[in-house]
Amino acid sequence: MQNDEHKIFEENIPAYSLGTLDAEETSALEIHLPTCASCRNELAACRQISDGLLMAAPPKAPPAALRQRLQRRLPSAQKTNRPPRNWSFDRLALGFAIIVLLALNLFSLSQMQSFRRQQAQLTHELQTSQTALAMLAYPGTQSLPISAANISGALLLDKDRSVAVLIIWDLPQLPDNRTYQAWLVDPQGNRTSAAMFDPDPDLPFTSVTIKSPNELSAFTSLGVTVEPAGGSRQPSGSRVFRIDF
Amino acid sequence: MTKPDDKELVRQVAGGDENAFLMLYDRYAAQVHALTLRILSDPMLAEEATQDTFLKLWSRARLYLAERGPVPVWLLTIARRTALDRLRLESRRPTLSTADDPDDLWRVIPDSKTTGEESRWRALYMAVQSLTPDHRQVIELAYYQGLSQSEIAETLGWPLGTVKTRMRAAMEQLRRVWGQP
Ligand SMILES: [Zn+2]
């Protein structure tokens, strides 16, 4: 049984590495991968080819005008990206978070005014984002950026007050039978469920309040996995990202 | 004088350094452009996708994680997605290479000089050219047209099982011919 299953997954790996595997098979494989070293090795070998194909076309210089056009566009692209000179990286992440949260507040408010439906959900979102905004005013709030392919955002963390809010951009929608679940990880590697959430299809970002049973300082990282709808007692699905405190 | 390495340059770009950005541009623009041209087969669209890719380099440099792979792989992955998104936006039909000339898409005139680093990629390029037309086509549609296996089956009128078998065989062949580093 186990072996037959593994064989089917293994056969799908070349297609997966090229990004051509159908969505359902992709989710199934992504659940299998963390559990199977042999499939991970196979994937690493296939990735050599798929990464190589990125470089395989003989180089062809773009028109020279493109370089100058880009150069002209950098300063304006910079205004939104670049903090004043002596801001630290942390500040930059915080600044980014503030912009996201203000947008979230405005968006939620306007939605609340125009639609009565889903009010509870929106109130909840608004509360989460207002918590996050309030957190930004604390000097002790850390902003830890998320680093994952195609997903950006930050975890706002105040260990002293045991408050944390996760802000995620571009989180892919999941099929109905799956959900995202956040886990707090302690130094022994034990996982405690901290939230379940799904991205709002109408919003480009997702905000989640992290509920910690103990002091947040008892944990060393936070991970997010894909789990069956309703959540799991322990992580069983593929990891989306992890943030170390 | 040694040149700054890619990772150092990306770090500087994250800090807003235009010169570092231009150095990366000079290093990789031709590869990014070759890839976007390969996917979009339209010079104007390819130039725009190249521009968008480098603007993303500028705005996302701080998200780059060195331990996840070399800078060109990261940059070209962004380029591939940007070009495929554009392809979808233009809702153009996939280019069916065997319909006319199976070798046409791979017959790009390279820029003059070939560096040592390039020869490895050139070897993979040759390996793709050495595939049978059926095998080359599944790689083509999957990787450079962004189609899923079901979409490829539909496009070519092949059973899904055939697409899967040929996809595996094509990758096997590339691994055999190109070898592992
Ligand atoms: Zn396996």
Query: Which CATH number does the domain housing residue B135 bear?
Result: 1.10.10.10
- Residues of chain A contacting residue B111, judged by C-beta atoms under 8 Å apart: 58-61
Closest residue to A77, CB basis, from B32, B59, B111:
B59
Q: Are B142 and B117 in contact (CB under 8 A)?
A: no
C-alpha distances in angstroms, A8 versus A32, A39, A141, B83, B162?
A: 11, 11, 47, 31, 15
B83/B112 same-domain check: no
Q: How many CB atoms lie within 10 A of CB A80?
A: 9
B88/B45 same-domain check: yes
For residue A46, how far is its CA from the centre of ligand 1 (angstroms)?
14
Helix (H, G, I), strand (E, B) or coil at A184: strand
Predicted confidence (pLDDT) at residue A187 exceeds the cutoff of 90? no
- Residues of chain A contacting residue B76, judged by C-beta atoms under 8 Å apart: 54-55
B7/B89 same-domain check: yes
Paired with A192 in beta bridges are: A184
B173/B109 same-domain check: yes
The sheet that has A191-197: what strands, in order across it? A191-197, A178-185, A221-228, A239-244
- Residues of chain B contacting residue A81, judged by C-beta atoms under 8 Å apart: 16, 58-59
What SS3 string covers chain B? CCCCCHHHHHHHHHCCCHHHHHHHHHHHHHHHHHHHHHHHCCHHHHHHHHHHHHHHHHHHHHHCCHHHCCHHHHHHHHHHHHHHHHHHHCCCCCCCHHHCCCCHHHCCCCCCCCCHHHHHHHHHHHHHHCCCHHHHHHHHHHHHCCCCHHHHHHHHCCCHHHHHHHHHHHHHHHHHHHCCC
User: Domain A142-244 is in which class?
Assistant: mainly beta
- Number of domains into which chain B is organized: 2
Closest residue to A147, CB basis, from B30, B46, B63:
B63
For residue A82, how far is its CA from the centre of ligand 1 (angstroms)?
44
For residue A7, how far is its CA from the centre of ligand 1 (angstroms)?
7
B2/B86 same-domain check: yes
CB pairs under 8 A between A and B: 156
Distance between CA atoms of residues A184 and A219, nearest Å? 6
- Structure-model confidence comparison of residues A226 and A100, the more confident one: A226
- Residues of chain A contacting residue B35, judged by C-beta atoms under 8 Å apart: 54, 57
The answer to whether B72 contacts A54, with C-beta atoms less than 8 Å apart, is yes
Distance between CA atoms of residues A216 and A213, nearest Å? 8
Q: Residue B63 belongs to what domain range?
A: 1-93
Start and end residues for every CATH 2.60.40 domain found in chain A: 142-244
> What is the separation of C-alpha B19 from the centre of its chain, rounded to a whole number of angstroms?
25
Average pLDDT over residues A10-30: 93
B88/B3 same-domain check: yes
Q: Which residue of chain A has the CA closest to B109?
A: A58
Distance between CA atoms of residues A194 and A164, nearest Å? 10
**Model confidence, pTM:** 0.58
For residue A15, how far is its CA from the centre of ligand 1 (angstroms)?
15
Taking alpha carbons only, the member of B97, B84, B94 closest to residue B131 is: B97
Tokens describing residue A94: 């915080």
B121/B139 same-domain check: yes
Residue with structure tokens 């940007």? Answer: B82
pLDDT tens, A128-154?
776 777 666 666 677 788 877 777 788
Q: How far is A146 from chain B (nearest CA, A)?
A: 8
Q: Are B25 and B10 in contact (CB under 8 A)?
A: no
So what's the pLDDT on residue B89? 84
Q: How far is B35 from chain A (nearest CA, A)?
A: 6
B67/B105 same-domain check: no
pLDDT tens, B30-67?
999 999 999 999 999 999 999 999 999 999 898 888 87
B52/B103 same-domain check: no
Asked if the interface predicted TM-score (ipTM) of this complex is over 0.90, the answer is no
The answer to whether A82 contacts B33, with C-beta atoms less than 8 Å apart, is no
- Structure-model confidence comparison of residues A22 and A245, the more confident one: A22
B121/B54 same-domain check: no
Helix (H, G, I), strand (E, B) or coil at A35: helix
So what's the pLDDT on residue A87? 44
> Containing H/E element for A180?
strand A178-185
CATH number for position B80: 1.10.1740.10
So what's the pLDDT on residue B181? 46
Distance between CA atoms of residues A131 and A188, nearest Å? 30
Q: In the Cβ-directed half-sphere of A40, how many Cα atoms lie within 13 Å?
A: 8
> Containing H/E element for A104?
helix A89-114
Residue that is last in its domain, among B93, B111, B128: B93
Name the CA dihedral angle for A73, A79, A83, A84, rounded to a multiple of 10 degrees: 100
Mean of per-residue pLDDT scores for chain B: 85
Predicted confidence (pLDDT) at residue A70 exceeds the cutoff of 90? yes
For residue A2, how far is its CA from the centre of ligand 1 (angstroms)?
9
For residue A4, how far is its CA from the centre of ligand 1 (angstroms)?
9
The answer to whether B35 contacts A22, with C-beta atoms less than 8 Å apart, is no
B3/B88 same-domain check: yes
pLDDT tens, A188-234?
778 888 888 888 776 667 778 787 777 788 888 889 988 888 888 88
B79/B8 same-domain check: yes
- Residues of chain A contacting residue B32, judged by C-beta atoms under 8 Å apart: 62
Residues in chain B with pLDDT values less than 50:
95-113, 181
